[in-house]
Structure 1
Amino acid sequence: MGQSHPLDNCVHSALTGPHAHFAKRRGNALRYPLDVSPFMALPDSPGDADWRDIAALAGQGREVTLTGPAVEPPDGWEIVTRGIVLRLIGDRIAAAPDEEAVRLTQADVPEMLALAESAKPGPFLPRTIEMGTYLGIRIGGRLIAMAGERLHLPGWTEISGVCTDADWRGRGLGTRLVLAVAAGILERGETPFLHVLASNTNAVQLYESLGFRRHGAVSLVRTRPPAEVPIS
């Protein structure tokens, strides 16, 4: 069997690569700190011990959030949500810096958290900004749109956190920021990629119109171990 692509188990690839400094580990199970990202990771073919380790790493009663090829928790684990996520890569897009985009810093986090809470782009936590570069557009001093880098693998960086305030949607601000973030990634000699729920057909069509192309699909599972799984 051939070696898997780094993007197939991208959280694991990140936490054993450029994001290793974030990694919390128990055995072969890995996770980001709780205030950085909810994502956790297992090896490609996890065994019973790996599932016990990830349950312990999560903590009693906590959800385990996994993405990867055919993620299938053991019998007895509760499936909280399950979905299919399309992976799109941007090796052919017309990326370009944006003169109105500003680099966001720790001082901007309260506004970023408020924007993410309103626009719901996916998990954005107090330290998510530490995962990579985030850019924003301000109007009248107010942060109205942002996008940035999340998972960082050898040679690859994920674009995430793309959102726009409801009052400013439909003006292409998100698109401009995606292309600006992508320009920074390409300038480093890396390839941008992103994930979109397969059910979000409008977003898929938008990204494909920008030149992103599909590169497979992965499972996204939020699951909870049974109470009897030992966590000591």
Structure 2
Amino acid sequence: MSDHPLDNAIWHALTGEQARFALGTGKARRFHTDIGPLAGMADRSAESLADLAALIRAYGTLALLQPGDPLPARAGDMGILVEKQAECVQMAYTGGALPPATPDPDIAVLGPEHYPEMMDLALLTEPGPFAARTADLGRFWGIFDGGRLAAMAGQRTRPSGHTEVSAVCTHPQARGRGLARRLMRVVLRQILEEGRVPFLHAYADNEAAIGLYQRLGFTERARVLVTVCSAAP
């Protein structure tokens, strides 16, 4: 695989800045189960697949997010069952500097006390892998409406020099009001102020989300596969 951190973003995050959240010590790593199911491999060698199979046996179902072709057939021989896979678009921010920030009193920083509400919103809207402590990976912001968390967005993986924008979601009853756009600008500004490059992933068939990200300054960088793997019976 390429040495560019975004060409194998999960692996670079789990073996770099976010190694403290990693399970595994070989050529496959995954986040702690209460952080989320995302995993990465150093390459597609037999050794990496064997280490991935060991992670699955030890900790259960996981999700790879990698470029290239589906897992080789020999993965099945090692006890890896591919439950499902889908194509995602990886997008990187190329929009340049953002305009100066203006106060938005509706936007709040989310903390551990909000984790149950964040989990409920993620389960309802399915923005991608999200677990009880996903928000430990970076800062998250939200907008409340009538005391209910109506929308959120935040940061997830941190491969070298980059920060992933993640869990961008809005309650169905609050859509069409531009809440995600407002939150995204806050997240982007935070990442850019740290001197890092924002990037994100969206399902390839989610045209509405991709359109929003393009208008905010993201461009498609690559296509990647999200592959959910469990232990073969």
Give the TM-score taking structure 1 as reference length: 0.90
User: Structure 2 matches for 1:156-175, cutoff 5 A?
Assistant: 156-175=162-181
Pairwise CA distance, 1:91: 2.9
CA-CA distance at 1:88 after TM superposition: 0.8
Matched, 1:88 2:129: no
Gap change, CA 1:156 and 1:39, over 3 Å in 2: same
> For residues 166 and 2 of structure 2, what CA distance do their matches in structure 1 show?
27
**1:180 equivalent in structure 2:** 186
RMSD of the TM alignment (CA)? Answer: 1.9
SS at match of 1:219: strand
Question: How many residues were matched structurally?
Answer: 225
| Residue identity matched to 2:84 | T
Q: Identity over the aligned pairs, expressed in percent?
A: 37
User: How do residues 36-115 of structure 1 correspond to structure 2 at under 5 angstroms?
Assistant: 36-44=35-43, 46-59=44-57, 62-70=60-68, 71-75=70-74, 76=76, 77-92=80-95, 95=98, 97=101, 99=104, 100-115=106-121
Q: Quick one: distance in 2 between partners of 1:23 and 1:17?
A: 10
Change (3 A) 1:140 1:202: closer
Deviates more, 1:18-27 or 1:156-165: 18-27
Counterpart Cα distance in 2 of 1:93 and 1:35: 35
1:132: how far off? 0.3
2:81 partner letter? E
Query: How far did 1:224 drift?
Result: 2.9
* Unaligned runs of at least 5 residues, structure 1: 228-232
Contact 2:89 2:203 in 1 (8 A): yes
TM-score by length of 2: 0.89
Amino acid at match of 1:153: P
Shift of the 80–93 alpha-carbon distance from structure 1 to 2, 3 Å rule, reads farther
Q: Distance in 1 between matches of 2:23 and 2:34?
A: 12
